[in-house]
Chains A and B, each alone.
Chain A
Amino acid sequence: MNQELIEQYVAGSLSEAESQAFEEYCLANPEFARQVEYEQRLRAGIIHVARGSTAEFVRSNHPMRWNMAAAAGVVLALISIFYIWNRLPTHRPPVMAAVTTEDQRNGAEMRLALVRGSDTAPNLQSGIVRVEIVGLFDAGFHYSVALDRLEKNKKVDTVATLYSQHPTSPTTLEVVIDSDQLRPGAYSLRVRKQASDEESLDFGFVK
């Protein structure tokens, strides 16, 4: 398989039979499939950028302007980190943590799964709740779990993030949440495979 064939597949110029053979080759060769996926994403990204205007493809370079913007961004980020750091609570138990004790394992629980077309979100009860996230997880990877509060104006406020979590089975990842520290509202657990370019999976619930 060569680059030209990848280009033809992504551009949609292979016949149906050729496309099917190509796809089966991708399934048997994950590294090759990743290469194809980058080509698909490059094309999709270019189409997206050009959706409004193609000016970015024909403009001249302004390196100074970008350097100054980057420097201003770094300064702003440092000030923000300093501000947030000084306001972090010091002796409060974490809102979200890994499951570590038998009490947590045998206590209240909530199950979250991606159900296509479902309109209702599960309800988080009060107290310490073990949350069982159901999906397909790769035991060879670490996962990060971010707890987001979803505001009415579509703003997202990240309440807590756990890194380096191991799935308890190929279909389960568990965390505990101290529900009493959460205000009533809509929340989402954002699960992401670390050290990979895969996008996160969102599991919604309400308190």
Chain B
Amino acid sequence: MDFVPGGELSRRIREGDVSAESELIRQFEPGLRVLLRRRTGGDYGLLQDLVQETLLVVIQRLRGSGIDDPQKLAAFAAQTARNLAIASLRKAERQRTDVDSEATERNADPAQDVEGVAADLEAALAVRALLRELPQPRDRLMLKRFYLDDHDKEIICQEMDLTEAAFNQALSRARRRFRQILEERGFAKRDLLSLGL
């Protein structure tokens, strides 16, 4: 997709151009997902809500009073998303404080945990498929040490007797395949829950 400068998008949205709003959504949505995924602790429902809320706030602002420096539209959208994430976190903290902790323990339901982490299931399924496909047990161990144990590349290479080039190549192959698996499957969250994963 061609990059449309913030100034031009701002002007067109101000003038009521609906296609400019679509362009803004297309352009900013992936970046907002990155930013908010980091701040929503794997809660996919909250992530989607906040992405939509941010886009609505930005569009409404551009339709109305506009922003001080239209060239910095991306920075404005990013800061809006951060503010909404902080507000949502504070609200959740307040709700947690208000809850009767004994009652919560009495009603503990393991199924609710599954719902709570539902956002990760699609990625988890792709990771399982990836692990099954990786030809070398060494590659699986390498992924574990890099992503799960957070070991430095250098240490992993030393201990597994790998050159850095071989390590990067194997990691890049795994990433490519992970992306392919997700694109091929395109599973919805509910499909995965019905599989009982």
Contacts and interface: CB of A to CB of B under 8 A. Distances in A.
Contacts of B175: 38-39, 42
Interface stretch (B32-40, B97-105, B155-163): B32-40
A30 B182 contact: no
Given A38-B178, A40-B34, A116 B49 contact: yes
A112 B119 CA distance: 22
Nearest to A201: B48
Given A30-B31, A37-B30, A199-B189, A44 B75 contact: no
Contact of B26 (A3, A12, A138): A138
A119 interface: no
Given A37-B34, A40-B37, A200-B190, A27 B78 contact: yes
A190 B58 CA distance: 26
B128 A56 contact: yes
A114 interface: yes
Residue in B31, B55, B183 with the greatest tally of chain A CB atoms within 10 Å: B31
Interface string B136-147: 010011011001
Contacts of A170: 18, 21-22, 25
Nearest to A135: B52
B89 interface: no
Interface string A149-164: 0000011100000000
A57 B32 contact: no
B180 to A, nearest CB: 10
A48 B123 contact: yes
Interface stretch (A18-26, A78-86, A97-105, A177-185): A18-26
A50 interface: yes
Which 6 A-B residue pairings sit nearest by Cβ, starting from the closest? Answer: A45-B123, A27-B31, A45-B127, A26-B31, A33-B30, A48-B124
18 contacts: A24-B31, A26-B35, A27-B28, A27-B31, A28-B3, A29-B31, A30-B29, A41-B123, A41-B126, A46-B144, A48-B120, A49-B127, A56-B131, A57-B141, A57-B148, A58-B144, A155-B194, A190-B188
Interface of B: 1, 3, 18-19, 21-22, 25-35, 37-38, 42, 44, 46, 48-49, 52, 55-56, 74-75, 77-78, 111, 117, 119-128, 131-132, 135, 137, 140-141, 143-144, 147-148, 150, 172, 174-175, 178-179, 182-183, 186, 188-190, 193-194
